[in-house]
Chains A and B, each alone.
Chain A
Amino acid sequence: KQEVTQIPAALSVPEGENLVLNCSFTDSAIYNLQWFRQDPGKGLTSLLLIQSSQREQTSGRLNASLDKSSGRSTLYIAASQPGDSATYLCAVLTGANSKLTFGKGITLSVRP
């Protein structure tokens, strides 16, 4: 059974800091890995999707890497801003049923 872990559960940083959010998964037989953002009371917004054959994806100040063999991904946020405050969820797609397995998320607070 696939399990996705995100540690720590919460993180508080000052504005401007570069930061790394970690995600680990137990079964390396994945199709892809996605990072999502969730604002309080809102749905999920997809940030980056990395295919199993890829090593990283970049979008603006965000860079996500994937090391499938070791079951790890990182989301790098450059020059963090208060608007980046949200919960960041990592999810992996496994199996023929397109099931996404989610971590419990990291709640990020960026202090002005």
Chain B
Amino acid sequence: GAGVSQSPSNKVTEKGKDVELRCDPISGHTALYWYRQSLGQGLEFLIYFQGNSAPDKSGLPSDRFSAERTGGSVSTLTIQRTQQEDSAVYLCASSLQSGGVYTDTQYFGPGTRLTVL
């Protein structure tokens, strides 16, 4: 079946502009996650959705970052007034999370490479 998809695959923007990154999880997966992968920093957790609600936003680096999920499916990560340090690969993942038991594999999308000039 279809995996996690993300768009765009690449985004180049100018400092100060807003960007929106999109994630389409695997159909039926109730949990959705955003991560960021920066050179030298490894992968860091940003935010987690269970259904449409985000119980943990502690990983968002600043108030310029926000995310929403609608209909328990598609999610968008918005970065306002982008800065050069926001340049990274933004990865989305989803998992089934059946019965609230945290034992399910997280399946990752190919990522969006964001470059802020």
Binding site for B on A (CB under 8 A): 31-32, 34, 36, 42-46, 49, 51, 89, 91, 93, 96-105
| B side interface size, CB within 8 A | 27
Contact with A along B51-75 (1 / 0, CB 8 A): 0000110110000000000000000
- B59: chain A residues at CB < 8 Å are 99
Q: Dominant SS at the B interface?
A: strand
Establish whether residues B48 and A97, one from each chain, have CB atoms under 8 Å apart when the complex forms: yes
Establish whether residues A101 and B106, one from each chain, have CB atoms under 8 Å apart when the complex forms: no
Establish whether residues A98 and B91, one from each chain, have CB atoms under 8 Å apart when the complex forms: no
- A93: chain B residues at CB < 8 Å are 102
- A45: chain B residues at CB < 8 Å are 108
Q: Tell me, rounded to whole Å, the shortest Cβ–Cβ distance linking B66 to chain A.
A: 17
Establish whether residues B42 and A32, one from each chain, have CB atoms under 8 Å apart when the complex forms: no
Contact with A along B77-104 (1 / 0, CB 8 A): 0000000000000010101010000110
Binding site for A on B (CB under 8 A): 4, 31, 33, 35, 42-45, 48, 50, 55-56, 58-59, 91, 93, 95, 97, 102-103, 105-111
Establish whether residues B42 and A105, one from each chain, have CB atoms under 8 Å apart when the complex forms: yes
Please report the number of residue pairs spanning A and B whose Cβ atoms sit closer than 8 angstroms. Answer: 59
* A103-B42 in contact given A44-B91, A98-B102 (Cβ < 8 Å): yes
Cα of A102 to Cα of B111 in the assembled complex, Å: 16
Establish whether residues B45 and A100, one from each chain, have CB atoms under 8 Å apart when the complex forms: yes
CB-defined A-B contacts under 8 Å, sample of 15? A31-B102, A34-B106, A36-B108, A42-B110, A43-B91, A43-B108, A44-B108, A45-B108, A46-B107, A96-B102, A98-B31, A99-B45, A99-B59, A100-B33, A100-B43
Q: Dominant SS at the A interface?
A: strand
- Identify which of B42, B102, B103 gathers the most chain A CB atoms within 10 Å of its CB: B102
Establish whether residues B56 and A97, one from each chain, have CB atoms under 8 Å apart when the complex forms: yes
